[in-house]
Amino acid sequence: MKHLTIMLKPASSLCNLRCKYCFYADITSLREVSSFGVMKESAMTAVMDHIFIDLDDGDYLTLSFQGGEPMLAGLPFYRNLVQYIAGKKRNIHINYTLQTNGILLDDDWCKFLAKYGFLIGISLDILPESHDAVRVDTAGQGTYEQVLRSISLLKKHHIEHNVLCTLTRQTARHPAKVWAQIKKLDLSYIQFTPCLGDLNSPGSSAYALTPERFFHFYSDLFDLWYRDFATGNYRSIKLFDDLLQLLAKGLVTSCGISGYCQPQIVVEADGSAYPCDFYCLDQFRLGSLVSDSLRTIYEKSAVSPCKVRDLLPELCSACQYRKFCGGGCKRMQRETACMPGDTFCGYQAFLDHALRPLMQIAAGIPG
């Protein structure tokens, strides 16, 4: 029995927003072809054929749609995809997830997403002033209120969803305001994604997180979260949940959290396959799921140069958390942990602060 996750980018890097910190816009600007447009039906069916031919009955498959903005592929694309998969009549357990900026959500979309049990990740940078400064439309206008309306639609249609907040150095200065706004908006599931520096010029970004900001934000947020948790008011913060699962059951529930990459394939709109969302670059292209088997793509992914771990920073050698950190995600270490030569690690400092109460909570989680 296999558990596979395939990330699909059916609208490539196309987007109806112009977010000032978009890591995928940075990556695709370095490719020979920055956008492959919308996935053609012939490519979609060929990709699905090559995925399903290597699956056995009883396997678990997660199809995760991201972008760019994946909803730009259009509702007919998704209807055709789920109908094509249903026509295969295979005993495969399929989960659908979709990450969106929320701008295109309406009742028609929500009826479809609810019918097929999509888990939705919707981007909201929690604080209106933070969100509207960077998550702007093509006219340069903020989109906070539009996203709030879309979250209301998801709730109306009882669609499971979580909020994805890109944690910039600006937002990270205000953990108390962030927590208060989370409670005001009654958000139940929140994932903070570190804002990354540009791939080829990491020091040039005005928004990229720093290890110091990572530590101060998460330490203060943890104290606020723990105070509410202790009184029976639980909200899911992805990093805290990941650590609890790791401590309680030894489960790795997020890619990179233990210093290594989880098996994953990213498929662009033309069928090109890559080993990681952070490295959808020409030099890391694995082949095409339009013409190559899933097994072949996975074998190439396992030995991709982007997954080769560089020497860990000096701080890691004597770190007491190395056994379940392993240096973390190599693409995020500059923003969250440490680089060679650094004398401070944000992740180490956070664990110094939060590990003891996390272990106490984990001890009460059933095995």
Residues 204-232: tens digit of each pLDDT:
789 999 999 999 999 999 999 999 999 99
Indicate which residues carry an active-site annotation.
277
pLDDT at residue number 325: 84
pTM: 0.94
Contact yes or no for 165/171 (Cβ under 8 A) = yes
Exposed/middle/buried for residue 30 (C-beta within 10 Å: 0-12, 13-18, 19+)? middle
Task: Find residue 194's DSSP bridge partners.
Answer: 167
Residues 6 or more apart from 14 whose CB is under 8 A from it?
A: 35, 37, 38, 67, 68, 69, 72
List the domain boundaries for the chain: 1-100+271-308
Which tokens belong to 117? Answer: 């049990």
The DSSP symbol for 199 reads S
Pairing of strands 265-267, 272-274: antiparallel
Say which DSSP state 195 is in: P
Q: What is the CATH number that goes with domain 1-100+271-308? A: 3.20.20.70
Could you say which DSSP state residue 299 is in?
A: H
For residue 240, the model assigns a pLDDT of: 96
Amino acid at 313: P
Residues of the chain predicted below pLDDT 50: none
Tell me what pLDDT residue 200 has. 84
